[in-house]
Structure 1
Amino acid sequence: MPGKKSAYGTVEPSISQHVLAPSNVAIYIALFFCNVFWGGGALVSKLGIHGASPMIFELCREALSAPLMLLAARAMGGKVLPDREDRLEVLLVSSFLIGAQLCFFVGLKHSSPSQCSAWQTMLPVLTTAASTCLGRERATWVKWLGVASACCGALLMTFHHDSSLTSAGEEDSMSGHMFIALQVCLGTSFIISSERVAHKYGGAALTGWVFALGSVILSVVQFSTMRSETVSGYICQDKDLVVLSRCMTGAVHIPASMILPLLYEIVFCTMLGWCLFNWANGHASASTVGLMMVVQPVSTMTIGVLLIFIRGSQWADMFSIHLPSTVHLIGVMFILLGLSVNFVNDQVGKKAAEAEESGHIVSDADRMLQSVQTI
C-alpha cells in the first residue's frame, strides 16, 4: 500500500492519516506556547541588543542554535541533510525566514518591543488572503470575522501612542516600522512555503537547516554592511557613543548583557519555539498559524508589566517598556475574541471533514459488499 512521508522521514500509511492527525487542541497549545516564547523574546532581545549590534546578536544565536537543532533532529531519527530533490525548496524557505529574522532585529533596534510584537498580528490577514488566493484553503466568513477581530485588537495595541512615552525615551521610528512590516511579509512567505518540508522532515531538522544557512548568510551581510559607514551607523545606532563606535568598527563584541538574552533565544525561542511552530505548521492551515501570532503582543505586554514591577519604571524606560493603557487592554479583548471564534470555526470544520470522510469510507465498504454479493 502506498504511504505518505511524515515527520522525520517515516512512512505513514495513507489509510490511517486521519486517525494519526493531531487534535486542534494540541495544535493550538503548540502555537500558543511558541508565540508566548517569541513575545517574551521581543523583550529579552531588546535587552540583548541594547549596546550591541542586532546583527551580531542574531548571528550568534543562529550559529549556536544550528548544531544543537541538527543533533536533536538526529537523536529523534531525523535527517541531517534534506533529500536531494528538496534542497532547493529548503534553500528558498530558509531565505524567507533568514530575511525575516534579520529585518526583525534591525527593526527592534529602532522601535519598542510591544510594537514589534503587535506588528506580528498582521500575519493572519496576509496568510489567510494568500492561502485563499492560492487555493490551499477556503476561508469562511466566520474565519474572516475571527481574523478581523484579532487584527483590530492588534492594531489598537500597535498604533495607539501616548505622547508621554516619547519624553520617557520611546525609540519608535518610521524606519523601524518599515523593517518590521517587511519581516511580516517574509514571515508570511515562510509559513505558506514551508508547510510541506516541515511536515516531511519535522521542526528540529528544518530549524537546524535554516539557522545553519542563516549563519553563513548573516556573516556575509555583517561583513558587507560594516564596509559602509552610513549603513553600519544605522544598524549600530545607540545613545552611548562608546558603544556606537565599538559596534561600527565591525568587531564581534559580545557584552555580558547579551549572554542571558542569547540563552533565552536559543532555548525558548529556537529549540522550543521554532520546533513547536514547524510541527504545528505541518498540520494546521496557514491562516490558523498566522492568526496565533496575535498571542505575541499579549505575551510581551504581560511580561513587560512583570518587569516593571520587579525592576521599576525608570529601568524599564531605558528599554521602551511601559505599562499598558486602557486601549491596549481593549485590544487584548478583541484578540481573545478573534482567537475563540477561529478555534470554534476550526473545530466545526474538522468535525465536518471527519464526518464526510467517514461517509466516504462507509460508501466504499457498501459498494465492495454489494460487489461480493453479486459475485
Structure 2
Amino acid sequence: MNKNVQVHAALFLVALIYGSNYSIAKEVMPAYVGPYGLIILRVVSAAIFFGVFSRLVIKEKIRGWADNLRSVACGITGIAFNQLCFFGGLNLTAPINAALLMVISPVVVLLFSALLLKERVGWKKITGIVVACLGALLLISSSHTASGTGNWLGDVLIILNATSFGLYLVLVKPLMAKYKAVTVVSRIFAVGAVIVVPFGLNQLLAPDYSAFPLTIWLAIAFMIIGVTIITYLLNTWALKYANPTLVAIYIYLQPVLAILIAVGFGKDSFTLQKALYALLIFAGVYMVSMTKQQVAKRA
C-alpha cells in the first residue's frame, strides 16, 4: 500500500476514535468516575502496556541529555498537561464546545513548527487551514444547541489542552526521526503517569467499581485501548512520514465523524448544509496534504 494512503488511513482512524470519545467519555464522567481518576486509569494502563512492550520487543533506549529532556517535555505537554486539561474541561463543558475549541490546535502547530522546526509556512498550507477551520466552525455551529453552552472554565481548559497538544506534536517530531514509535510513546507515558497520579488518586479510589454496568466498563476499555494506546501509536507513527501540521489538520474531521456516528444511532440528522460544511473540511485537509512537506519518503 502507498505510504501516503497508509498515513492518511492512520490519521483518519485516529480522528474517528477521537470523534467518538467526546460522547463516550461524558457517559462515564462524572457519574461513575471523576475526570482525573479516569485519566489515571488511561495513562497508567497505557504506561504499563507500552513499558512492557518496549522492554520485551523493541529493546531501544532514548540516548543523550537533549533527547531525554525533550522526551520529558513531550510527556508533560502530550500526556500530563494535555490530558488533565482535556478531561477537566470536557467534564465542565459540552462536547460540542470541546470539539469547537479543539480546532485551534493546527494553528498552534503551524506557529510552533515555524518557530521551533523552522518549517516554511506556504500560502497553500495557510489557505488549507483557513478553509478547514471555516468548515469545522460552520458545521459545529449548525449543530450547536442552546443546551450546549458549556462552562467558561471548561472552555479555557480545552483551549489550554489544544495548545499543549499542538506543542507536543512539534516537540515529538525530532524524536520520531531517531527512534521507534513505541520507544518514544513508552517514555512519554511513563513521564505522564508520574505527574497525573497525585491529581486524580482520590477520584480513582472513590467509585464502587463493582456496581459499574457492562456498558461503562466497555466505555472505559475503549478509552484506554482505543483513545489512549491506539491513537498515540498511530499519531506517533504518522509523524515519521508526515509533518506535524498534517497530523493536526485531521482534528477538523472529528466533528464530521462525531455527527455521522450520532446519525447512525439516531441522535442527529445529516442535511445538505452539513454535507457542504464537511466538504470544506475535507478540502482543507487535501490542501494541506498536497504541500511539498506532506509526507517524507523513507526507505
The TM-score bracket by the shorter chain reads 0.7 to 0.9
Q: Which residue of 2 aligns with 1:317?
A: none
Q: Which residue of 2 aligns with 1:149?
A: 131
Q: Which residue of 2 aligns with 1:206?
A: 184
Cα RMSD of the aligned pairs, angstroms, is 2.7
Instruction: Label 1:115 to 1:157 Cα distance change in 2 as closer, same or farther (>3 A).
Output: farther
Pick the aligned partner of 1:342 from 268, 288, 293: 288
Query: Do the aligned residues in 1 keep the contact of 2:90 with 2:154 (CA within 8 Å)?
Result: yes
2:57 and 2:193 map into 1 onto residues whose CA distance is 23
Residue correspondence of structure 1 range 237-316 to structure 2 within 5 A: 251=206, 253-254=208-209, 255-256=212-213, 258-307=216-265, 309=266, 313=267
Does residue 109 in structure 1 map to residue 87 in structure 2? no
- The one-letter amino acid of 2:225's match is V
Give 5+ residue unaligned stretches, structure 2. none
2:150 and 2:272 map into 1 onto residues whose CA distance is 20
Instruction: Label 1:350 to 1:218 Cα distance change in 2 as closer, same or farther (>3 A).
Output: closer
Q: CA deviation at 1:162?
A: 4.7
Q: CA deviation at 1:191?
A: 0.6
Q: Deviations over 1:213-238 (max 9, x none)?
A: 22221121235xx6xxxxxxxxxxxx
User: Based on CA coordinates, which of the two structures has the bigger radius of gyration?
Assistant: 1
Query: Do the aligned residues in 2 keep the contact of 1:198 with 1:278 (CA within 8 Å)?
Result: yes
Identical residues among aligned pairs (%): 22
Pick the aligned partner of 1:90 from 60, 71, 77: 71
Number of aligned pairs?
Answer: 290
Instruction: Label 1:35 to 1:73 Cα distance change in 2 as closer, same or farther (>3 A).
Output: farther
1:114 and 1:78 map into 2 onto residues whose CA distance is 42
Query: Do the aligned residues in 2 keep the contact of 1:48 with 1:262 (CA within 8 Å)?
Result: yes
2:137 and 2:129 map into 1 onto residues whose CA distance is 12
DSSP-derived class of the 1:345 partner: coil
TM-score after normalising by structure 2: 0.85
Residue correspondence of structure 1 range 25-104 to structure 2 within 5 A: 25-51=5-31, 52-79=33-60, 81-85=61-65, 86-97=67-78, 98-104=80-86
DSSP-derived class of the 2:58 partner: coil
Q: Deviations over 1:324-371 (max 9, x none)?
A: 66654443121011112222334xx679x98xxxxxxxxxxxxxxxxx
- The one-letter amino acid of 1:67's match is I
Q: CA deviation at 1:73?
A: 2.6
Q: CA deviation at 1:195?
A: 0.8
TM-score after normalising by structure 1: 0.69
Residue correspondence of structure 1 range 96-245 to structure 2 within 5 A: 96-97=77-78, 98-134=80-116, 136-160=118-142, 162-163=144-145, 165-166=146-147, 170=148, 172-222=150-200
- The one-letter amino acid of 1:268's match is G
2:251 and 2:144 map into 1 onto residues whose CA distance is 24
Q: Which residue of 2 aligns with 1:16?
A: none
Q: CA deviation at 1:112?
A: 2.5
Does residue 333 in structure 1 map to residue 279 in structure 2? yes
Instruction: Label 1:350 to 1:173 Cα distance change in 2 as closer, same or farther (>3 A).
Output: closer
Deviant stretches of 4+, over 6 Å: none
Query: Do the aligned residues in 2 keep the contact of 1:117 with 1:300 (CA within 8 Å)?
Result: no
1:117 and 1:26 map into 2 onto residues whose CA distance is 25
1:161 and 1:344 map into 2 onto residues whose CA distance is 30
- The one-letter amino acid of 1:188's match is G
Give 5+ residue unaligned stretches, structure 1. 1-21, 227-246, 314-321, 355-375
Q: Deviations over 1:67-101 (max 9, x none)?
A: 1122233344243x533523222111110121011
Q: CA deviation at 1:204?
A: 2.1
